[in-house]
């Protein structure tokens, strides 16, 4: 669900920012799209890393790394 929220937020932000840049700043649509979507892509990656796919269970990381100890 978090991924879909992020997806729709990014699509909306991209559309509104490109439209605004074109209408108010008279920037070419293609140039505006490139200049706006590049930072949005980086922002999207960071949000996915820290919010969407964040692992809340500390034991999983230890099991994957092989640091679990059996008695």
The CA distance from 25 to 20, in Å, is 7
Name residues of the chain where pLDDT drops below 70: 57-71
Residue among 40, 37, 39, 9 nearest 1 (CA):
9
**51-69: per-residue pLDDT in tens?**
999 887 666 555 555 555 5
Please check whether residue 21 is in contact with residue 27, taking contact to mean a CB–CB distance below 8 angstroms. yes
């Amino acid at each position: 669900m978090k991924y879909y929220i992020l997806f729709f937020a990014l699509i909306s932000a991209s559309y509104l920012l490109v439209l605004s840049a074109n209408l108010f700043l008279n920037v070419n649509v293609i140039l505006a799209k490139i200049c706006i979507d590049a930072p949005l892509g980086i922002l999207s990656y960071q949000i996915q890393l820290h919010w969407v796919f964040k692992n809340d269970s500390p034991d999983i990381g230890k099991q994957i790394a092989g640091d679990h100890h059996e008695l």
